[in-house]
Structure 1
Amino acid sequence: MNKEYIDGQDLKKLFIGAANYLDQHKDEVNSLNVFPVPDGDTGTNMSLTLKSAVKQILNLEELSVDKVAAAASNGSLMGARGNSGVILSQLFRGLSNGLKGKKVAYIKDFAESFNMAQETAYKAVMKPTEGTVLTVARECADKAAQLSKDEKYISEFLYKIIEYGNEVLNKTPDMLPVLKQAGVVDAGGKGLLVILQGAYNTLNTDEEIEFHETSTGAKTQSQNMNFHKDIDTNDIKFGYCTEFLVNNTDKNPQVFREELAPLGDSLLVVGGDNFIKVHIHTNNPGIVLEKAVEIGELNDIKIDNMRRQHRRLVVTEEEEKKAEENEKEEENLENDEIRKYGIITVSMGDGISEVFKGLHADYIIPGGQTMNPSTEDILNAVNKIKAENIIIFPNNSNIILAAEQAKELSDKNIYVFPTKTIPQGISALISFNEELSVEENIENMKEAIGEVKTGQITYAVRDTEMNGTKIKKGDIIGISNGDIKATGQDVQEVSERLLNDMVDKDTSIVTIFYGNDTEKEQADELAGKIEKEHNDCDIEVIYGGQPLYYYIFSIE
């Protein structure tokens, strides 16, 4: 289809087509994870982030290129999951900045906005690495600038960008040795090109495109337990849970927050590029909405009468108990006076969550491998806590960027302590002292995580070769310090070899967290063998309940 420009309806269609196409191919992108582990989630994270962008676009009443791009930016910003999702949201943010004021967009406009997109994404990453999605985005932007001088039609322009982008993608293993060693191209770069391909496919069809939304993805603790027990309505001070999004506003979020504060509690007001998202418990949702409509366009309005909510889902006794505990915890958090510290931690597995509760974490976000929480999930947790200082422990390298993005969107005093593993998170919290200053605690926690090593036992999802070791699909693999240290067919045997490799003369404590696919008897047997080999170490066995990983080891 020979189009010289794209209007708002066209751009909406392109985003929907791109989201549907990525959803179809997300498993292919996931399979490009450098480690052949079952938690490759780059495709899933990018897909969920893009779907969040499309949901925002679908709420628009007026379709112009700049409004569609802004909606995509806002939606992806809040829905970003994992490092790949955060980078994608920043690409959309730059794209939106480049298309500001445009009712329609020509090739020259897209070339300029592509360049702003890659610049914005590079700035969002503290230490950009070549051979990643950033490289693919930059090279595609450079190609777009070159093509804009001669190309006339959008279709041919986009086709040539994708063609060149795939050439760049195939070179990423030469830029990043770890990709070459694993025999894969960069997953994020592949995801970006899948998105562009989906847009191109849609551009070349006259058919109506329907958005295919699926229900996969991480949920916060409160989302996972979306049911309520019968309650005494007299206990509810503010009866209406009111949420909405204000688009096309230049209002300062902090000023708007102060205006809404007298109208209720549990108030969350965060802003991005020309948008403000609001959550408030109030007795006057009409007044709140009247104030909001004065500053911009309203979307995603949701009002729940909390006095009439009843449990609609059939749940097991165990789930009901957890829901009740969670409700009590959230009620306690909302009723608490402002404290010096509030702690948020991400956890994988109910046993590990119990450990964090025992270490006085205020709010636990279920997530980690395969289920990275979104920026909005983290912001919702922040909103539950009344404290002068809020410390977030991501406990996964793929959640740190989303936590940092949540920090930027919130007006609270937030510190993201960049724990990359569950053992690091536990060690950091053990060393935490409420009586100390933030700076003293951060220094102590840095020292603590420097003294802990993490080991993980899982299985390979594809054939590969790493560090000269050939790995077959289905093999048991032991990972430590970013390397696969042991492989084999037997979980116990590989676990024993990994632990013996990790434990040294300086080791004093070994903690074994066994997952939901491992029996306690197996964990105890493993502990017994390690104790015989290293009788000067204390060995502790704890139920972790984590998925996909038979064991997580903490070596101190």
Structure 2
Amino acid sequence: MNITDGKLFTTMLRAAYLNLEKNKEEVNRLNVFPVPDGDTGTNMSLTLKSAIKNMESENNENISKIAKAFSTGSLMGARGNSGVITSQILRGFAQGIEDSEIIDVETLKNGLVQAYKVAYKAVMKPTEGTILTVIRGIGEFAEKNYKNYVDVKVFFDDLIKEGKKVLDSTPEMLPVLKQAGVVDAGGMGLIVILDGILNYENIDSSDSISVETVKVNSTSFPIAQDTGEDIKYGYCTEFMIETDYGDYLKFRNDISKFGDSILVVKGDGLIKTHIHTNNPGVVLEKALQLGQLKDVKIDNMRIQHNHIIAGEEADKYLDPAINPDKKTKYGFISVSSGDGFSKLFKELGVNEIISGGQTMNPSTETILEAIDKINSDNIFVFPNNGNIILAAEQAKSLSEKNIIVIKSKTIPQGITSLLSFDEELSPEENEKEMNEVLSTVKTAQLTFSIRDTEINGLKIKKDDIIGLEGGEILSTGKKLNKVTLDLLNKIIDEDSSLITVYYGEDTEDKYVNDLERKLTRIYQDLDIEFVNGGQPLYYYIISVE
């Protein structure tokens, strides 16, 4: 048996998607950490959904063209690391079969060998015990044994059996998998895809598939529809101080009495400041005591607000850097989860906010759409999630603009990195500086467990509070603030000077107020700020600098 019919090949690929879609929750449950946003199966399914959409829109009957269209669609719809790697596997397969009009044993071998090679090249530091190991095991088995087969179906069946053997060994390669008692989720997703192809006759691919790409829209933060009377501090004030003054935290304390939404970051010979205040002149006087000022921007937020409410053109009140019709030297894109975070990014001059994060990784296509909206020579992208960096890098490779991906893995890292930007520096100098400051930020995250598990000696029950930092669960228990304090005690050290607590949309005020009282008492020598992040699923996201 060889695959000679383009329609049959299309049916097989549809069955691969349907099988993964039906089993995505089983794949999701294999995610190591029991957090409520484990989404490997969902990301891979959405990636294949985009592939189906593109394949069917091109309506090809040639097998190599079908594979290419499927690959291109997966590339544009790739979500998360698992989705991006899946798209690279499909890209390699399409390259490997070249212009073949049939898929016989040798062609299948060529496709799979190229699939694992391309996938490995796409990842800077490949980790064994993942989907990469599984596809490599399949590809190497194909390369070594293909001459022993004449029937594609028999060959494919044995390839899957080999893939399952490799998948079963992933816990021995990654201790964290063994400790959690699971195999790799991405590797399992790949096996589910291949099983769908092999057993296409048993999967009802005649079902109507909704192939509209699920998009996480790139949007501006919505402006509140009220009179503006509740704006406590009316002037959004930003500036840079050219100074060698080292105690920037003292400066922040000195101006804190004059406003809120204060962000002060020190760079090389510079202090960048953002504050909402009713007395910008007083703040600038304080700043002048430290050095020369540049890039001063003061926006009257009440006037802006009133003009927007009246339906009048407000662009003249806004920073030109966020006016999409005016070409600028620099543009900024940030992934954000929560209205509070989105508002903060907008205030810091971000042009395009992409709603997303752990709960919904934006696709390569979504990031490209945001890039296209910005009329700028150089565009910085802040993924703010380790699972989105690969999609951002992929968007960079597809864009003709100069795209700089800052490898921020958390929103607090993205905020700190953005504040270190200096318009006077070159794109390369900014990229170096903005990536370097990422290491100065520790991010604590408080959420709840979605299942019973045991990790790092911690026995965790479903619905327990869990505290994470740097990809590790460090604290767990029944009481939110007790777990939070225990987590912070483990990550705060003598170099820590600032704690910023971003509380989520479902975090009750009584917990926020209680935590603020306790932190103020325990960490009297540290600066402590509370900001409404509005994020889902995470009670607190805490930045420690």
TM-score bracket for the superposition, by shorter chain length = 0.7 to 0.9
Match for residue 416 of structure 1 among 405, 411, 433? 405
Cα offsets for 1:274-328 (capped at 9, x unmatched): xxxxxxxxxxxxxxxxxxxxxxxxxxxxxxxxxxxxxxxxxxxxxxx99x99998
Of 530, 535, 544, the match for 2:524:
535
Query: What's 1:213 paired with?
Result: 210
Contact 1:169 1:185 in 2 (8 A): yes
Query: What is the match of residue 336 of structure 1?
Result: 325
The residue aligned with 2:23 is 25
Shift in alpha-carbon separation, 1:448–1:520, aligned structure 2, 3 A: farther
**Deviation of 1:387 (Å):** 1.5
Structure 1 residues 101-500: aligned runs within 5 Å: 101-202=99-200, 204-205=201-202, 209-213=206-210, 217-222=214-219, 335-500=324-489
Whole-Å separation in 2 of the counterparts to 1:537 and 1:333: 34
Q: Kindly indicate whether the alpha-carbon contact (under 8 Å) linking 2:3 and 2:9 is maintained by their aligned counterparts in 1.
A: no
What secondary structure sits across from 1:149 in the alignment?
helix
| Structure 1 residue 402: Cα displacement | 0.4
Q: Distance in 2 between matches of 1:352 and 1:512?
A: 12
**Could you report, residue by residue, the CA deviation over 1:23-47 in whole angstroms, capped at 9, with x for unpaired residues?**
0111111111121111111111100
Decide whether the 8 Å contact of 2:49 with 2:213 is kept in 1: no
Letter in 2 for 1:221: S
Alpha-carbon deviation of 1:464? 1.7
Please say which of residues 386-395 and 438-447 is displaced more in the overlay: 438-447
Paired letter, 1:219: V
- The aligned residue for residue 59 of structure 1 is 57
CA contact under 8 A between 1:514 and 1:520: conserved in structure 2? no
Q: Where does residue 520 of structure 1 map in the other structure?
A: 509
- Post-superposition Cα deviations, 1:219-274, rounded to whole Å, max 9, x if no partner, equal 1234999xxxxxxxxxxxxxxxxxxxxxxxxxxxxxxxxxxxxxxxxxxxxxxxxx
Query: What whole-Å deviation, never above 9, does each CA across 1:122-173 have from its counterpart, x for those lacking one?
Result: 1111111111111100111122234421223222222111111111101001
Q: Distance in 1 between matches of 2:103 and 2:319?
A: 47
Distance (Å, rounded) in 2 between the aligned partners of 1:103 and 1:406: 30
Shift of the 207–541 alpha-carbon distance from structure 1 to 2, 3 Å rule, reads closer
Q: 1:54 to 1:335 in 2, by over 3 A?
A: closer
Give the one of 92, 102, 125 matched to 2:90. 92
* TM-superposed deviation, 1:357: 1.1
Which letter does structure 1 place at the counterpart of 2:77?
Answer: G
Whether the 8 Å contact between 2:134 and 2:167 is mirrored in structure 1 is: yes
Q: Deviations over 1:41-97 (max 9, x none)?
A: 111110000111111111233311111101101101111111111111111111111
1:38 is matched with: 36
2 CA distance for matches of 1:134 and 1:125?
9
Q: Distance in 2 between matches of 1:141 and 1:327?
A: 57
Q: Distance in 2 between matches of 1:534 and 1:216?
A: 48
CA distance in 2, matches of 1:487, 1:399: 27
The 3 A distance-change label for structure 1 pair 50 and 8 is: same
TM-score (norm: length of structure 2): 0.79
Specify the code of the residue in structure 2 equivalent to 1:399: I
1:518–1:550 contact (8 Å) kept in structure 2: yes
Q: CA deviation at 1:176?
A: 1.3
Q: Find the aligned partners of 2:221 and 2:525 in 1 and give their Cα distance.
A: 43
| TM-fit CA distance, 1:207 | 6.5
Report the CA distance between 1:482 and its aligned residue: 1.9
Whole-Å separation in 1 of the counterparts to 2:220 and 2:72? 21
**SS, match of residue 443 in structure 2:** strand
Q: Which range moves more in the overlay, 411-420 or 206-215?
A: 206-215
Letter in 2 for 1:487: T
Gapped regions of structure 1 (runs ≥ 5): 226-320
Residues 170-228 of structure 1, C-alpha deviation per residue, up to 9 Å, x if partnerless?
100111112112221111111000000111110x4597633533779551234999xxx
The amino acid across from 1:121 in the alignment is A
In structure 1, C-alpha distance between the alignment counterparts of 2:312 and 2:408, rounded to whole Å: 26
Normalization by structure 1: what TM-score?
A: 0.78
Identity of aligned residues (%): 50
Query: Is contact 2:341-2:534 (8 Å) kept?
Result: yes
Matching residue of 2:236:
none
SS at match of 2:529: strand
Number of corresponding residues:
457
CA distance in 2, matches of 1:488, 1:327: 49
Deviating more after overlay: 465-474 vs 330-339: 330-339
Secondary structure (helix, strand or coil) at the match of 1:511 reads: strand
CA distance in 2, matches of 1:430, 1:367: 21
Q: 1:221 to 1:464 in 2, by over 3 A?
A: same
Distance 1:209 1:95 in 2: 25
- Match for residue 552 of structure 1? 541
Matched letter for residue 93 of structure 2:
L
Which one-letter code corresponds to 1:387 in the other structure?
S
Amino acid at match of 2:493: D
1:496 counterpart SS class = helix
Q: Distance in 2 between matches of 1:420 and 1:5?
A: 43
CA deviation map 1:461-511 (0-9, x unaligned): 122211111112211100012211110011122112212222233222111
Once residues 186 and 36 of structure 2 are traced to their aligned partners in structure 1, the CA distance between those partners, rounded to angstroms, is 17
Judge which range, 87-96 or 207-216, deviates more.
Answer: 207-216
Q: Counterpart of 1:46 in structure 2: which amino acid?
A: M
Distance in 2 (CA, whole Å) between partners of 1:492 and 1:75 is 45
Partner SS state of residue 166, structure 2: helix
